[in-house]
Amino acid sequence: MQPKLTVIVPTIERPDTLYWTLKTVTSQDYGNFSIIVSDNASTDNTAEVVAAFNDPRITYINPGKRLSMARHWEFALAHVKEGYVSILGDDDGLLPGALSHAAMLLNKYKVPAIGWRFGNYNWPGLSPHFMVPMGNYYRLVNAREEVARVFNTQNIVSTIQFPSLYGGFISIDVINGLKEKFGGQFYHSRIPDFFSGGAVAATVDQYLRLHYPLSLNATSKHSTGYATINSAIDQKAINDLQSNSDNIPFHPQLVFSKTINMAIAEAMLQVHEKVPGFPKLSIEKIITETAQEVASTESDLKYRETMDTLLEIGRRNNLLPFAESTVAANPHQPLLNIPVKHKYSPVSETIYLDTTGLKINNVFDACNVAASMQLGTRFELKGALQQYVSKVQQGLRYLYLKANVFPKLKG
């Protein structure tokens, strides 16, 4: 049997990237899937771009008024009635064969959730960065043990390994079960992608974690994440995320800041509030890792704003001396702008490419290239020896790609 898969694409006035995102989805070779494009009250030609596909698998919806990100995702999620659901950003893309592969794994293992490691691609106009994970294995994960391991031994960012709606497929039965427990609303953080990962990991018994990408998490001039690191571009997305209007209240122990650690930490604290037994991040850990993150930012303004935020968090939680000492221990030391180079990292099992001069002009191109780079066989990882053999295979694959594939990408 083919499980029903639904891909939600929330969008807001980004028709230039949305077209290529939808092309990566409509080009999938799987038979039983649908696409929901949820347009957050765009005032441009977004609806026309969607209609031009003339694809019966696409359903276009619109809330009729502008919603905050979490409220919009909640609106879109309510339109899924069966099977498994994933959320894809409107400048991101699915690799060829992604849906067929996900369906095969869901059928084989009968798990309620799978999550994968993203690839990362920067659209033209940004630094020419392209990162493709090359692991060719997946793990069947005991969710309770994994949550404990990550919280006890890993940093805050490591919680992105949990099976999120953004970068995974989750059973709509799991989502609806949580909605019922949460009083009819699934999202309880204004950072919906990270919240979904924690909430699902806290609920299911097992899930699959893929160490290779089924999608690319792309960054364009529209991206909310890019706005956090570049104050020179349009800040509307960040302002909307930060605004309290039509938004889920930010966790009272924290203060919004333009940092990845604070975003993840806020979502994890909200999961802790909603799910009994889910661990609680310490405020000291949040202050420390956020300070370490922002110390290397290029922006002096972002550094000062974030450190002021950490001092305020210290005051709120009777930890001001700790916050002051942490800020003092992390002076502003911007990283040098090191050019991207072609390389393979055996530690992270990742290929990095400089896309300058390559025939990669959009996320559709990038997804096709990323798929061509992957190893052909994938297996369930059950031991360290298997992982070692895989690393060797990946290194040899990189040498082959470097000699035979990358030169053909040059324009």
- Looking at the chain, the domain(s) classified CATH 3.90.550.10 span 1-248+343-411
pLDDT at site 193: 95
Taking the model in full, what pTM does it have?
A: 0.94
pLDDT at site 242: 72
3-state secondary structure (DSSP) of residue 150:
helix
pLDDT at site 323: 98
**CATH fold of 1-248+343-411:** Spore Coat Polysaccharide Biosynthesis Protein SpsA; Chain A (3.90.550)
pLDDT at site 229: 55
pLDDT digits (tens, 9 = 90+) for 176-218: 999 999 999 999 999 999 999 999 999 999 999 999 999 999 9
pLDDT digits (tens, 9 = 90+) for 283-338: 999 999 999 999 999 889 999 999 999 999 999 999 999 999 999 999 999 987 77
Length of the chain: 411
pLDDT digits (tens, 9 = 90+) for 369-387: 999 999 989 999 999 999 9
pLDDT at site 224: 62
The token pair at 262 is 């604070």
Cα dist from 5 to 25, 103, 106, 172, whole Å = 12, 8, 10, 10
pLDDT at site 244: 62
Low-confidence ranges of the chain (pLDDT < 50): none
pLDDT at site 246: 80
